DNA sequence: ATGTCAATCGTGGATTGA
């Protein structure tokens, strides 16, 4: 089972790229972020024609998350996080697919630091941590997937010293990431590549992709029940090189599936 | 700051967010 995450940076502006990549990579489940589209402009028909059912939580102009599945109709389990009734950003959607709880998230960027946007980011991480604790109590495989907008360590950025005062790398955010992980979550990519510099984002500015001036922002957190089944993890770096690409690359993990018992 | 995108309002280009 292939579970993917892709910050698409405008689903309608990049629908052709998305469909091309789906046809090429054939993931089973895809978590999308930064739809930048209201609910009534989500291209569900084109995705259905490509073989994917969708659930989505859109918003005018910014944010927006969706989950695609090749397994048929999707059982949605949640949209949004508790803890702030005034938060209207569409940043979290969750479903139960093929026996796995999959949370798709778009964590606030938080720049500029310091400021209200950074404060909102920290609060959002705490709300996510609270929800993650609840999910971790279930006797089910769980994956929390998406654009975390956090570089957890110096290995996760091409130039750590440049990012000291950046919300993506501030110690306050990295500390909350560690607190979240300490509940028992496995960072799937770091588990598969313990020492390697891997990036999932390259800025549009200053030929960042050509220079490999990247950041690792998109993560898969797996609970124990799922981490045991992790087979591989891949960054689809070449897709970032396509014309009219998002500034993120699609990323995916492969999960081994227990063979279903034969019907008797 | 630099310089690159998309959405918006609303029809040309400034503004906002990333």
Q: At what angle do helices A116-136 and A171-181 cross, to 10 degrees?
A: 10
C-alpha–C-alpha distance, residues A49 and A35, integer Å = 19
Query: From the alpha carbon of A167, which nucleotide's C1' atom is closest?
Result: B18
Quick: pLDDT tens for A89-113: 999 999 999 999 999 999 999 999 9
Residue A164: predicted pLDDT:
96
Q: Give the residue nearest to nucleotide B9 (CA to C1').
A: A61
Distance between the alpha carbon (CA) of A61 and the C1' atom of B16, Å: 10
- The average confidence (pLDDT) of chain A is 97
Alpha helices, DSSP H, located in chain A:
15-25, 44-49, 116-136, 171-181, 188-192, 224-227, 237-240
pLDDT for position A260: 60
Distance A13 CA to B12 C1' (A): 20
CB A65 within 8 Å of CB A146: yes
Q: Is the pLDDT of residue A259 over 70?
A: no
The annotated binding site of A is made up of: 7, 34, 147, 149, 247-248
Q: Verify whether residue A106 is a known catalytic residue.
A: yes
**Nucleotide with the nearest C1' to A245 CA:** B5
Residues 6+ apart with CB under 8 A from A137: none
Tell me what percent of the residues of chain A surpass a pLDDT of 70: 97
Interatomic distance A71 CA / B3 C1' (Å): 42
pTM: 0.97
From the list A6, A106, A199, A209, the catalytic residue is A106
Q: Judge whether residue A108 contacts strand B, using its CB and a 7 Å cut-off.
A: yes
B11 C1' to A252 CA distance, Å: 41
Q: Is-catalytic flag, A203? A: no
User: How do the domains of chain A map onto residue ranges?
Assistant: 2-254
Catalytic residue status for A163 = no
Cα separation, A159 vs A178, in Å, equals 21
Question: What proportion of chain A, given as a percentage, has pLDDT over 90?
Answer: 97
Residue (of A23, A21, A31, A63) closest to A188 by Cα position: A31
Strand B nucleotides within 7 Å of a protein CB: 2-9, 17-18
- β-sheet bridge partners, residue A94: A78, A103
- The residue that minimises its CA distance to C1' of B6 is A10
Residues 6+ apart with CB under 8 A from A203: A213, A247
The residues of A between 186 and 225 with beta carbon within 7 Å of nucleic strand B are 204-206
Binding site as annotated, residues of A for Mg(2+): 7, 34, 147, 149, 247-248
A60: nearest nucleotide, CA–C1' criterion: B7
In the structure encoding, which two tokens stand for residue A230, read together?
Answer: 């992790």
Q: Name the CATH topology of A2-254.
A: Deoxyribonuclease I; Chain A (3.60.10)
A159 CB inside 7 Å of strand B? no
Write the DSSP symbol of residue A170. Answer: -
pLDDT of residue A90: 98
At A153, give phi and psi (nearest 5°): -140, 175
In this predicted structure, what is the pLDDT of residue A264?
55
Q: Measured in Å, how far apart are chain A's first and last C-alpha atoms?
A: 25
Q: With cut-offs at 50, 70 and 90, classify the pLDDT of residue A225.
A: very high
Q: Residue A258 and residue A60: Cα distance in Å, rounded?
A: 41
């Amino acid at each position: 089972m292939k579970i993917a995450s892709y910050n698409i940076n405008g689903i309608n502006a990049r629908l052709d790229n998305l469909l091309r990549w789906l046809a090429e990579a054939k993931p089973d489940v895809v978590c999308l972020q930064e739809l930048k589209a209201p609910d009534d402009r989500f291209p569900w028909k084109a995705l259905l024609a490509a073989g994917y059912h969708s659930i989505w939580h859109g918003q005018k102009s910014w944010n927006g998350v969706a989950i695609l599945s090749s397994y048929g109709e999707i059982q949605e389990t949640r949209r949004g996080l508790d803890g702030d009734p005034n938060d209207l950003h569409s940043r979290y959607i969750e479903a139960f697919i093929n026996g796995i709880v999959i949370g798709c998230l778009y964590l606030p960027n938080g720049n500029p630091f310091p400021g209200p946007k950074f404060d909102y980011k920290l609060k959002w991480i705490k709300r996510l941590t609270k929800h993650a604790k609840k999910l971790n109590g279930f006797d089910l495989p769980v994956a929390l997937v998406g654009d975390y907008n956090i570089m957890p360590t110096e290995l996760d950025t091409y130039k750590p010293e440049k990012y000291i005062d950046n919300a993506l790398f501030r110690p306050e955010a990295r500390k909350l990431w560690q607190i979240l992980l300490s509940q028992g979550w496995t960072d799937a990519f770091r588990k598969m590549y313990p020492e390697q510099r891997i990036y999932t984002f390259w800025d549009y500015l200053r030929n960042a992709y050509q220079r490999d001036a990247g950041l690792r922002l998109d993560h898969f957190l797996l609970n124990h029940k799922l981490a045991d089944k992790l087979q591989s993890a891949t960054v689809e770096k070449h897709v970032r090189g396509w014309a009219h690409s998002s500034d993120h690359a699609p990323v995916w993990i492969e999960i081994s599936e227990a063979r279903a018992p034969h019907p008797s």
